[in-house]
Amino acid sequence: MALKAVIFDMDGVLVDSEGFWAQAEKDVFSSYGAKITDDLAALTKYMTTTEVTQFWYSRFPWDNLDVTEVENQVVTRVIELILSEDCIMSGVQGFIKNLKNEGYKIGLATNAPLRVAEAVLQKLNVRDWFDSIDSSEQESQGKPHPAVYLTAARKLGVSPEYCIAIEDSYSGLKAAKEAGMKTIVFTNDHEAVHLGMADFSISNFEKALLPAIS
């Protein structure tokens, strides 16, 4: 099998930004009267921004819910944190550049909104190396549903069986698997991360190579 495309998740793979989402949720939803606890916040970790907003509203209803406005506040706060903090995964820019030089098509498939993805790629200065950028906000369901990966493959013009996805979460790996792709779990040097779910693993990007696939 000739691998033709590599599709990246974003949060936890390109940037170490998952804590920013928790901070943004706390900042925004607390202002609407939600009582943010670690246990409840953990339940939202892999939700889309729309799902997160509905989650907190269902538990702590506030007057005049405007989902779009609240989502925008969360997303804006996340972007502020991404742009101001040192959060780039070490070595990831060189890893992407090498893939591009070797002729692979490069995609991004994330549950995060597109404007967060654009901010991340601009921060990494890798926007021009990506052939497609896809968000679950454009799908009826987010990961672990495979829709965003199927869309990414279609836009790249590559059948899923010739794609490999790099993920750090169970829900992301499940989405890519159900789309018919091979998977790599990025552990960021934490070796216990979902190893059994993925076909391959990368502990860090500094000296990483794509696995030989046949």
Mean pLDDT of 44-49: 80
Contacting residues for 117 by C-beta, under 8 A, at least 6 apart: 10, 108, 110, 133, 135
The 10s digit of each residue's pLDDT in 137-176 is 899 999 999 999 999 999 999 999 999 999 999 999 999 9
Q: What residues does 166 pair with on adjacent strands? A: 8, 184
pLDDT at position 132 over 70? yes
Catalytic residue among 9, 16, 134, 168: 9
The CA distances from residue 201 to 48, 69, 77, 118, 184, in Å, are 25, 39, 32, 26, 5
Q: What is the pLDDT of residue 1?
A: 61
Residue 128 a catalytic site member: no
For residue 134, count CB atoms less than 10 angstroms from its CB and return exposed for 0-12, middle for 13-18, buried for 19 or more: buried
pLDDT at position 192 over 80? no
Mean pLDDT of 55-82: 92
Residue 9 a catalytic site member: yes
The single-letter code of the amino acid at 41 is A
pLDDT at position 193 over 70? no
Q: What residues does 110 pair with on adjacent strands? A: 135
Q: State the average pLDDT for the chain.
A: 92
Catalytic residue among 11, 131, 134, 168: 11
- Per-residue pLDDT band for 46 (boundaries 50, 70, 90) equals confident
Q: What is the pLDDT of residue 22?
A: 87
The 10s digit of each residue's pLDDT in 80-127 is 999 999 999 999 999 999 999 999 999 999 999 999 999 999 999 999
For the chain, how long is the longest CA-to-CA vector?
56
Contact predicate 53/166, CB 8 Å: no
Higher pLDDT, 42 or 35: 35
What does the angle CA 154 – CA 144 – CA 11 come to, to the nearest 5 degrees? 85
